């Protein structure tokens, strides 16, 4: 770590230097990053620039070293942050300057694809004004795309290496502090620089050939299909199902495939779309492999009621003691109406006046119970005029209108 003025991070185009004798690219089965510290006595006292040391200013080099090993282009057996520092110094990529603003900086040519073909910077993502949830989504996407991610934190004064994302948490190896998650740096996160390791295979979790509902009628069945795959490691866990808007699983199943691919149709019998009540839901498939836990399908859909009301009236305000006549029609599209309650409820949800009938027909005339709803006997206050019906798809409030008696 070093002072912000001594890092020209926003102007670096980063690319790692490797000589012709560097370790050849290796295929990575799952990224495992060493937890190195910049002040490790093996390299902490090494000079960095004219006035600095690795212990004081070496957060970036230590972070890059961890990412290289995780990417599989270097091995812990013969590589560490000190080796990388020496490599950069010998290649002339570390500045030596009497200007404290420039001293110890890493050259912008150190991480270009030309100079560092096995491990190079692809781009940056600016998080200066981002919420942590959006930062999480961005970094998770970068990891799933096969990139290795350095994050600038502490208002651009420090670098950390991202190791994985899971459940809203971004896990890191921090070379200068004991922090283990990026969440602990929330509010000071500036950007992510992401790198490509040439010849490595990203352990992605794509979903393909899948279907999803957009609108369903309550009680309607729906069959799902598709394939979830893992590029390198096996899928260790997969949850397929329907979640409510609070993120809670309503219906679905978790399986443990231990395979490179899984047929979603295998859990179709465990996802009961026909049991969903009217509302908004998310159909999701959430998969885990050796590299990440990812939501690979996330599609919002709605369930609409098969019970509807039409041509009805309702009060908005009534004088105390005044009668009011109701009318309208309740219709069921797919089965008989087995029960219907029409009446006035108080603000506590208690029926004050009304009647429950059992039509066993596809439609019902609300006027049939008008004589049983005594608006003229209501005390002054706030009420709700409701019509609540039940059919084979469930129970639905088809009319719910607030009014006052004054």
Share of the chain above pLDDT 90, in %: 72
CB 93 within 8 A of CB 106: yes
User: What is the residue-wise DSSP string for 377-399?
Assistant: GPPSEEEEEEEEEEETTEEEEEE
Task: Name the residue with higher pLDDT: 395 or 250.
Answer: 250
CB 254 within 8 A of CB 286: no
Q: What is the pLDDT of residue 377?
A: 97
- Burial class for 280, CB neighbours closer than 10 Å (0-12, 13-18, 19+): exposed
Q: What is the pLDDT of residue 134?
A: 95
Q: pLDDT for 318-335, tens place per residue?
A: 999 999 999 999 999 878
- Residue 35's nearest CA partner among 203, 161, 195 is 161
Angstrom distances, CA of residue 305 to CA of 104, 213, 322, 374, 394: 67, 15, 33, 28, 9
Tell me the torsion sign for CA atoms 80, 81, 82, 84.
positive
Q: pLDDT for 248-294, tens place per residue?
A: 999 999 999 999 899 999 999 999 998 898 889 999 999 998 767 88
Q: What is the pLDDT of residue 7?
A: 39
Q: Is the pLDDT of residue 19 over 60?
A: no
Q: What is the pLDDT of residue 291?
A: 67
pTM above 0.85, yes or no: no
Share of the chain above pLDDT 70, in %: 91
Nearest-5° Cα angle at 293, 289 to 294: 110
CA 395/CA 39 separation, integer angstroms: 65
**For the chain, what is the mean pLDDT?**
89
Q: pLDDT for 106-146, tens place per residue?
A: 887 899 988 888 899 999 999 999 999 999 999 999 998 88
How is the chain split into domains, by residue range? 4-197, 207-304, 307-405
* SS3 call for 300: strand
Which residues lie closer than 8 Å to 77 by C-beta, 6 or more apart?
A: none
Q: Is the pLDDT of residue 72 over 70?
A: yes
pLDDT band with cut points at 50, 70 and 90 for residue 100: confident
Q: What is the pLDDT of residue 21?
A: 33
Q: What is the pLDDT of residue 201?
A: 54
Q: What is the pLDDT of residue 334?
A: 78
- Please give the CATH number for the structural domain made up of 307-405: 2.60.40.10
Strand 227-229's sheet: what is its strand order? 207-208, 227-229, 261-263
Q: Is the pLDDT of residue 231 over 90?
A: no
pLDDT band with cut points at 50, 70 and 90 for residue 12: very low
Q: What is the pLDDT of residue 267?
A: 97
Q: What is the pLDDT of residue 352?
A: 97
- Please give the CATH number for the structural domain made up of 4-197: 3.90.70
Q: Are strands 351-357 and 394-405 parallel, antiparallel or unpaired?
A: unpaired
Question: Quick check: do 4-197 and 307-405 share a fold?
Answer: no
Tell me the torsion sign for CA atoms 263, 268, 269, 271.
positive
- Domain 207-304, CATH 2.60.40.2550 — does that match? yes
């Amino acid at each position: 770590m070093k002072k912000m003025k001594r890092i020209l991070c926003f102007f670096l185009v980063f690319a790692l230097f490797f000589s012709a004798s560097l370790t050849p690219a290796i295929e990575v089965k799952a990224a495992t990053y060493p937890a190195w510290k910049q002040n490790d006595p093996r390299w902490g006292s090494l000079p960095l620039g004219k006035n600095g040391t690795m212990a004081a200013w070496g957060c970036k080099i230590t972070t890059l070293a961890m990412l290289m090993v995780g990417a599989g282009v270097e091995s812990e057996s013969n590589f560490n942050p000190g080796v990388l520092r020496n490599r950069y110094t010998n290649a002339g990529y570390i500045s030596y300057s009497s200007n404290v603003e420039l001293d110890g900086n890493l050259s912008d040519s150190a991480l270009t694809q030309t100079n560092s073909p096995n491990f190079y910077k692809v781009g940056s993502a600016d998080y200066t004004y981002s919420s942590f949830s959006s930062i999480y989504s961005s970094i998770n996407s970068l990891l799933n795309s096969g990139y290795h991610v350095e994050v600038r934190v502490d208002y651009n004064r420090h670098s950390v290496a991202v190791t994985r994302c899971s459940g809203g948490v971004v896990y890191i190896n921090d070379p200068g502090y004991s922090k283990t998650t990026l969440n602990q740096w929330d509010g000071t996160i500036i950007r992510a620089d992401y790198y490509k390791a040439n010849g490595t295979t990203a352990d992605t979790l794509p979903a393909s050939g899948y279907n999803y509902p957009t609108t369903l009628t309550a009680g309607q069945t729906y069959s799902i299909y598709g394939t979830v795959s893992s590029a390198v490691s096996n899928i260790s866990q997969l949850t397929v199902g329907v979640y409510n808007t609070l993120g809670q699983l309503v219906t679905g199943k978790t399986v443990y495939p231990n395979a490179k691919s899984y047929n979603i149709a295998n859990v179709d019998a465990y996802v009961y779309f026909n049991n969903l009540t009217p509302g908004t839901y998310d159909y999701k498939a959430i998969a885990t492999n050796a590299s990440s836990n990812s939501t690979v399908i996330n599609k919002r859909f709605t369930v609409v009621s098969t019970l509807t009301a039409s041509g009805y009236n309702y009060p908005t305000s009534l004088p105390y003691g005044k009668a009011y006549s109701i009318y309208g029609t309740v219709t069921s599209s797919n089965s008989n109406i087995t029960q219907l309650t029409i009446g006035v409820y108080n603000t506590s949800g208690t029926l004050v006046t009304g009647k429950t009938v059992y039509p066993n027909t596809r439609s019902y005339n609300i006027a049939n119970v008008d004589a049983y709803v005594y608006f003229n006997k209501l005390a002054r206050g706030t009420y709700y005029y409701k019509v609540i019906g039940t059919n084979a798809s469930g129970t639905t409030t088809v009319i719910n209108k607030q009014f006052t008696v004054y």
